[in-house]
């Protein structure tokens, strides 16, 4: 009962403190918004294709080629390519150089000559691909016509009707995080780990404001006080993380996947790990040294964990270094869960976090028992 009273009192105290709202709620939400918006391009999955304007000069006399070309022109016009026949005396290459057209094609009985824009390379490559497909189909149809005119006709009709000069394919862009998605995860785990800062103050604040003396004089064991404070601190920080996750999900449309329960369980173990780590450090290092060590560790772990920018393709020593960051474990597990549907990725991290937290808490509990005061 005393543990519960102390935990509730701790939670009340945290929520009365404006710093809790600023640091644990406003700060991560603003970070998600700023980093997610500022680094949108770094996470963009597609490439936008601008207007495609093809200038062409058709001087072919072969009626079959003329027919095929007209069919092709209609087909690609339907797909957004603007075709313009070159007027006599027009230098098509100059027109492309001047960026008035994306590409210039000369069609005659001997074949197609293509000049693409050096500026709009994507658009010119798309048109080149279409023309290459057309040339291949025409060559195939021409070769078939020598043997079976019906087969040749079928090839041309199918090619034009299907509009399949370029086939759209996708690398499953929906299964990759956008910037907001990424930073929602990264900042949530970072702030979850920042719980170590408030944990470092759990006992020290009592000593500083002298209430430790009153607590110690009360008929409550140190372990009850310790347990109540740890529960209160963990719960407060976890509630803040839940708020951040839900806010990012509904206000920013961040993707948190379909298994929020396991996401929250994993984040809870990150908070528990952070709280126990923060407490542990205050009993390993004396005075302000603990805070300094913790601040340095959290900053480096945030950096290596990808809180400020994604760490991808890390290898060798750097890869091993990044794996020391608890935020990296959590982020990878969350990414795997959300984007690969790999729920099993969460459980080793949950287990590891809980085990490390238990070790730190046991260390603090034993140290506390040995000490005369707090």
For the CB of residue 12, give the shortest distance to other proteins in the complex, in Å.
7
Which is nearer to other proteins, 207 or 321 (by Cβ)?
A: 207
- Name the residue nearer to other proteins (CB basis): 4 or 42: 4
- We find the least distance from the C-beta atom of residue 216 to other proteins, in angstroms, to be 5
- Give least dist CB 289 to other proteins, A: 23
Q: How far is the CB of 352 from other proteins (least distance, A)?
A: 35
Judged by DSSP in three states, 111 sits in: strand
Query: Are 60 and 109 contacting, i.e. CB atoms less than 8 angstroms apart?
Result: yes
Distance in Å, CB of 202 to other proteins, minimum: 14
Phi/psi for 57 (5° steps) reads -130, 110
By C-beta, is 5 or 340 nearer to other proteins? 5
Least distance between other proteins and beta carbon 276 (Å): 24
Nearer to other proteins, 14 or 137 (CB): 14
Phi, psi at 98, each rounded to 5°: -75, 0
By CB under 8 A, name the binding residues for other proteins.
1-2, 5-6, 9, 12-13, 16-17, 209-211, 213-220, 372-373
Q: Which is nearer to other proteins, 70 or 211 (CB)?
A: 211
- Give the nearest distance from C-beta 368 to other proteins in angstroms: 14
- Using the minimum distance from each CB to other proteins, give the nearer residue, 42 or 366: 366
Considering beta carbons, is residue 147 or 217 the nearer one to other proteins?
A: 217
């Amino acid at each position: 009962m005393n543990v519960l009273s102390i935990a509730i009192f701790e939670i009340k105290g945290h929520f009365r403190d404006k710093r809790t709202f600023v640091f644990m709620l406003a700060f991560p939400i603003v970070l998600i918004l700023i980093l997610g918006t500022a680094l949108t391009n770094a996470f963009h999955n597609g490439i936008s294709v601008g207007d495609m304007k093809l200038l062409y000069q058709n001087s072919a006399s072969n009626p079959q080629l003329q027919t095929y070309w007209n069919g092709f022109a209609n087909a690609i016009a339907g797909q957004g390519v603007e075709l313009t026949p070159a007027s006599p005396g027009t230098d098509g290459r100059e027109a492309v150089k001047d960026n008035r057209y994306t590409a210039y094609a000369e069609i005659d009985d001997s074949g197609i000559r293509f000049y693409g824009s050096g500026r709009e390379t994507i658009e010119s490559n798309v048109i080149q691909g279409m023309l290459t497909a057309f040339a291949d189909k025409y060559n195939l149809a021409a070769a078939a016509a020598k043997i079976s005119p019906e087969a040749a006709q079928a090839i041309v009709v199918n090619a034009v009707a299907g509009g399949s000069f370029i086939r759209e394919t996708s690398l499953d862009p929906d299964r990759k995080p956008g910037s907001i998605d990424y930073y929602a995860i990264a900042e949530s785990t970072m702030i979850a780990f920042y719980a170590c800062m408030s944990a470092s103050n759990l006992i020290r604040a009592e000593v500083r404001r002298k209430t430790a003396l009153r607590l110690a004089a009360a008929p409550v064991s140190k372990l009850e006080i310790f347990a109540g404070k740890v529960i209160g601190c963990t719960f407060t920080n976890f509630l803040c993380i839940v708020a951040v996750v839900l806010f990012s999900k509904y206000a920013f449309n961040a993707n948190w996947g379909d298994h929020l329960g396991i996401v929250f369980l994993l984040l809870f173990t990150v908070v528990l790990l952070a709280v126990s780590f923060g407490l542990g450090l205050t009993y390993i290092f004396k005075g302000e040294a603990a805070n300094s060590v913790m601040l340095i560790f959290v900053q480096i772990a945030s950096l290596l964990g990808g809180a400020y920018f994604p760490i991808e393709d890390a290898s060798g020593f750097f890869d091993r270094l990044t794996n020391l960051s608890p935020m990296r474990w959590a982020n990878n597990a969350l990414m795997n869960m959300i984007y690969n549907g790999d729920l099993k990725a969460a459980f080793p991290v949950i287990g590891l976090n809980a085990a490390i937290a238990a070790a730190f808490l046991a260390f603090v509990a034993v140290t506390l028992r040995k000490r005369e005061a707090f």
